[in-house]
């Protein structure tokens, strides 16, 4: 599970770099979000592998924050398209 989340974050980071390079002004935030997600996942993964003092807290926090950032990147990127069909008052 944790290796899978780390690989998803790595995949998101590589995709963010590619998308940012193709359309820099519109997708520059993807690079920041991808880097942040990869950083959190790396901290969580390293805590699990090295098992330093209090590693469980770092593992849970790192993986959770990585997951939140990945979802944030998805919804920030796809929000304008997906919200057009939502309930309108």
Q: How many CB atoms lie within 10 A of CB 11?
A: 13
Q: Give the pLDDT of residue 61.
A: 92
Rounded Cα distance, 85 and 78, in Å: 13
Q: Indicate the DSSP class of residue 84.
A: G
Rounded Cα distance, 12 and 9, in Å: 5
Rounded Cα distance, 29 and 58, in Å: 26
Rounded Cα distance, 64 and 71, in Å: 11
For residue 50, the enclosing domain spans 2-78
- pLDDT tens for residues 31-89? 888 888 888 988 888 888 888 888 889 889 998 998 999 888 888 878 766 655 554 54
Count: domains in the chain? 1
Decide if 85 is inside a domain.
no
Decide if 88 is inside a domain.
no
SS3 6: helix
- Full-model pTM: 0.69
- pLDDT tens for residues 8-22? 767 777 877 887 788
Q: Give the pLDDT of residue 68.
A: 93
Decide if 23 is inside a domain.
yes
């Amino acid at each position: 599970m944790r290796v899978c989340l780390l690989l998803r974050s790595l995949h998101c980071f590589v995709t963010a770099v590619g998308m940012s390079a193709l359309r820099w002004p519109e997708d520059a935030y993807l690079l920041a979000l991808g880097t942040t997600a990869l950083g959190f996942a790396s901290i969580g993964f390293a805590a699990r592998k090295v098992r330093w003092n209090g590693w469980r807290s770092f593992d849970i926090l790192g993986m959770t924050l990585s997951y939140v950032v990945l979802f944030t990147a998805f919804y920030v990127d796809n929000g304008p398209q997906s919200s057009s069909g939502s309930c309108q008052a």
